[in-house]
Chains A and B, each alone.
Chain A
Amino acid sequence: MQLSREDLLQAYRRMKTIRDFEELLHDEIQTGEIAGFTHLYAGQEAVAVGVCEHLSDDDKIVSTHRGHGHCLAKGCDVTGMMKEIWGSREGLCKGKGGSMHIADTDKGMLGANGIVGAGAPIAVGAAMAAKLDGKDESGRLKVSIAFSGDGACNQGTTFEAMNMAVVTKVPAIFVFENNHYSEHTGFEYAVGTQQDIASRAEAFGMKVWRADGTDFSAVHDTMSEVLEYVRAGNGPAAVEFDTERFYGHFEGDPQRYRGKGELDRLRAERDCIKKFRETVTEAKLLEGSDLDTVDAEVAKTIEEAVAAARAADRPTPEDVLADVYIDY
């Protein structure tokens, strides 16, 4: 499916925003200014954006510990996120959650998650709600998407969620981002169905798709088909995207499990943003200068977000007690 110029620019802007956001965090974390555990999404941008470009605020996603990309792709506010990661009380979650718990339910973003495998069941619940809400005038259901890693696909919760989605025939989509590592362990070791996660979903009775997660248009096109199928009320589906993470599992990971020259090779051959630029300029869909303009705008957005995060109000000790309950 050929996207319009505007759509391509928007997708590029989103991917680039994620990349710059993460690269900035990578640098800032070295200075010790940012607290806590941070898992960067850089390298996987085409998946989050290729999926979420199809969604409206009414569609839900449930994310993982590596959630910044999903949040940004789903429309969470860049500055609100930056403030959250800085631990400000002006942050998207008032400094309570930090990197691993960013959420914005108004945007249909039901939370990053610190517990590997916790997301898929929640996404099934959201899909049940979507089924209850029924189809819109054009006969389409809202959907709910569970992002899971190759590591999370080994949790029983993920299996339970897949089976439950099938038997309840809800509009859930299990998006598996196979970046070949769960922490320091290789996917070939930890996933028994060699080289393949989608076949598990298939075994649960779902229709599945597979695509190169570093190729934006492959992700986007695949998701068009998946969404058409799920929105029509055919029940859940699953997709496995082959993708790459460019940084360590968490910031501070020495990555000794990587092969020699692996990161250089990934950056050269598997960079979804670089590939996007090459494809759209070669096909003359966009000019390099169009993309450079976006780059400059994104750089400015990120710069401003950081300045705002640095200047934002810090939480006070009394804030600890707020928001445990609505009423107590």
Chain B
Amino acid sequence: MAKMMYRDAVRNTIFQEMKRDDSVVVLGEDVVGGMGTDGGPEAIGGIWSTSTGLFGEFGADRVIDTPISESAIVGAAGGLALCGKRPIAELMFADFIGVSLDQIWNQIAKFRYMFGGKTRCPAIIRMVYGAGYNAAAQHSQSPHAILTGMPGLKVVMPTTPADVAGLLREAIRTDDPVIFMEHKALYGIEGEVPDDPDFTIPFGHARLTRAGEDVTIVATGMMVGMAEQAADALAEDGIGADVIDLRTTSPLDEEAILDSVEVTGRLVIVDEAPPRCSLATDISALAAEKAFASLKAPVQMVTAPHTPIPFARELESAYLPNPDKVEAAVRKALAYS
């Protein structure tokens, strides 16, 4: 085990996989940083420091610093992947899927199906998502729901450094296209990461981070910590919560959710995105469809409101879920009879 930050787990895993497999290449804006300047390549290694040192080790053909052209970045990842490479494209902010959506949605996601299963497209689109930085409406979003809804894509949302390592390595070794979503507010968190250079976490296996019998709380990314805080506060009142970190939203670990709800009969979903057609409604529908008989209370959804993300500190914190809102939702579910 080695203690490291979430961002370093990203960088180290990519580094190790590039060492292991020559077909792994990285592309994106400022992934080298300093190209064409007096400071020179790697003067600054990307604004998130998730690609530091890659260029020095692997060179310009495998660490491709691109102009600001998200559509071409994602499309090129698709082309690389169709030709036997394992590209890891970076979108500096997940919000920029807006610029590159055709390549994600109509191209990469569908190649295999449209081509009758004849091809593989092992492309990874890493993207930095989430609020918490007062970066306002175009740099704070959590677009996991629309991506989860696209057949052909796998969608990964790691919460801990260990999960980053295990899931990113799995993503790199997987032959399907993967959306790998890194929460910007988690980059600085530390955790133990296994040393095993083959450590992978299979997709579709949720992680139980708290165990209890009264309520099931489902969350992803930054919402997991909020769910845990709420669970810890509730535990002091003798209320036990299962906290399920989904890890991947596609595939979805339905079993983990349903097994837990069968015991608790109460489900609270915490989602950083707005409520309509969301991960929260998706899981809520799952419970309604497959755990109806177990439910003792209406499913509670703690989500952002149906609004864009506001800038001001007070507004962003009012917009976001928080542990108090999660706790209140749990108590509401428990009060229902």
**A132 contacts the other chain (CB 8 A):** no
**B188 contacts the other chain (CB 8 A):** no
CB interface residues, A 36-71, toward B, < 8 Å? 36-37
Residue of B nearest to A183 (CB): B30
**With A and B bound together, what is the CA distance between A175 and B70 in angstroms?**
22
**With A and B bound together, what is the CA distance between A320 and B138 in angstroms?**
16
**With A and B bound together, what is the CA distance between A144 and B315 in angstroms?**
33
A189–B312 contact, CB under 8 A? no
**With A and B bound together, what is the CA distance between A165 and B232 in angstroms?**
59
Residue of A nearest to B320 (CB): A320
**B245 contacts the other chain (CB 8 A):** no
**With A and B bound together, what is the CA distance between A151 and B319 in angstroms?**
32
B136–A115 contact, CB under 8 A? no
**B67 contacts the other chain (CB 8 A):** yes
**With A and B bound together, what is the CA distance between A36 and B310 in angstroms?**
11
CB interface residues, A 59-104, toward B, < 8 Å? 87-89, 93, 95-98, 100-101
Residue of A nearest to B100 (CB): A156
Do most interface residues of chain B lie in helix, strand or loop, or is the interface mixed?
A: loop
Number of contacting residues on A, CB 8 A? Answer: 51
**B68 contacts the other chain (CB 8 A):** yes
Do most interface residues of chain A lie in helix, strand or loop, or is the interface mixed?
A: loop
**With A and B bound together, what is the CA distance between A324 and B98 in angstroms?**
19
A117 with B68: in contact, given A35-B312, A315-B315 (CB under 8 Å)?
A: yes
B30–A185 contact, CB under 8 A? yes
Interface locus among A212-220, A221-229, A254-262? A254-262
Residues of the A chain whose Cβ atoms lie less than 8 Å from the Cβ of B313: 35, 87
**B35 contacts the other chain (CB 8 A):** yes
B312–A88 contact, CB under 8 A? yes
**Distance from A312 Cβ to chain B, minimum over Cβ atoms (Å):** 11
**Distance from A96 Cβ to chain B, minimum over Cβ atoms (Å):** 5
Residues of the B chain whose Cβ atoms lie less than 8 Å from the Cβ of A324: 306-308
**A285 contacts the other chain (CB 8 A):** no
**B311 contacts the other chain (CB 8 A):** yes
Residue of B nearest to A260 (CB): B38
**Distance from A269 Cβ to chain B, minimum over Cβ atoms (Å):** 16
B314–A317 contact, CB under 8 A? yes
**Distance from B134 Cβ to chain A, minimum over Cβ atoms (Å):** 4
A320 with B35: in contact, given A37-B133, A114-B136, A156-B71 (CB under 8 Å)?
A: no
A154 with B68: in contact, given A96-B310, A262-B38, A321-B307 (CB under 8 Å)?
A: yes
**A9 contacts the other chain (CB 8 A):** no
**Distance from A290 Cβ to chain B, minimum over Cβ atoms (Å):** 38
* Contact string against A for B residues 297-337, beta-carbon threshold 8 Å, 1 for contact and 0 otherwise: 00000000111101111110011000000000000000000
Q: Which of A88, A97, A188, A316 sits near B137, CB closer than 8 Å? A: A97
B35–A319 contact, CB under 8 A? no
**B43 contacts the other chain (CB 8 A):** yes
**With A and B bound together, what is the CA distance between A188 and B71 in angstroms?**
21
Residues of the B chain whose Cβ atoms lie less than 8 Å from the Cβ of A319: 310, 315
- In the complex, which of the residues A117, A183, A188 has the most CB atoms of chain B within 10 Å of its own CB atom? A183
Q: Which of A96, A116, A155, A189 sits near B315, CB closer than 8 Å? A: A96
Residues of the B chain whose Cβ atoms lie less than 8 Å from the Cβ of A156: 69, 71-72
A95–B65 contact, CB under 8 A? no
B43–A190 contact, CB under 8 A? no
Q: Which of B35, B133, B137 sits near A189, CB closer than 8 Å? A: B35
B138–A114 contact, CB under 8 A? yes
**A124 contacts the other chain (CB 8 A):** no
B311–A317 contact, CB under 8 A? no
* Contact string against B for A residues 286-316, beta-carbon threshold 8 Å, 1 for contact and 0 otherwise: 0000000000000000000000000000111
**A157 contacts the other chain (CB 8 A):** yes
A97–B311 contact, CB under 8 A? yes
Residues of the A chain whose Cβ atoms lie less than 8 Å from the Cβ of B305: 320-321
B96–A115 contact, CB under 8 A? yes
Q: Which of B67, B98, B306 sits near A154, CB closer than 8 Å? A: B67
**B228 contacts the other chain (CB 8 A):** no
Residues of the B chain whose Cβ atoms lie less than 8 Å from the Cβ of A113: 138
A36–B38 contact, CB under 8 A? no
**Distance from B66 Cβ to chain A, minimum over Cβ atoms (Å):** 8
A257 with B99: in contact, given A100-B139, A154-B68, A320-B307 (CB under 8 Å)?
A: no
Q: Which of A89, A189, A254 sits near B65, CB closer than 8 Å? A: A189
**A191 contacts the other chain (CB 8 A):** yes
A185–B29 contact, CB under 8 A? yes
Residues of the A chain whose Cβ atoms lie less than 8 Å from the Cβ of B37: 181, 184-186, 189, 257-259
**Distance from B318 Cβ to chain A, minimum over Cβ atoms (Å):** 4
A317 with B134: in contact, given A96-B310, A186-B35 (CB under 8 Å)?
A: no
Residues of the B chain whose Cβ atoms lie less than 8 Å from the Cβ of A105: none
**A168 contacts the other chain (CB 8 A):** no
**A211 contacts the other chain (CB 8 A):** no
Residue of B nearest to A261 (CB): B38
- In the complex, which of the residues B38, B70, B312, B315 has the most CB atoms of chain A within 10 Å of its own CB atom? B312
A37–B30 contact, CB under 8 A? no
**Distance from A255 Cβ to chain B, minimum over Cβ atoms (Å):** 8
A254–B311 contact, CB under 8 A? no
Chain B residues engaging chain A, CB cutoff 8 angstroms: 29-30, 33-40, 43-44, 47, 65, 67-72, 95-96, 98-99, 133-139, 305-308, 310-315, 318-319
Task: List 22 A-B pairs, Cβ < 8 Å.
Answer: A35-B311, A87-B313, A93-B311, A95-B310, A95-B315, A96-B137, A96-B311, A96-B312, A101-B137, A151-B67, A152-B68, A154-B68, A182-B67, A184-B44, A185-B30, A185-B34, A185-B36, A189-B36, A253-B44, A314-B314, A317-B314, A324-B308
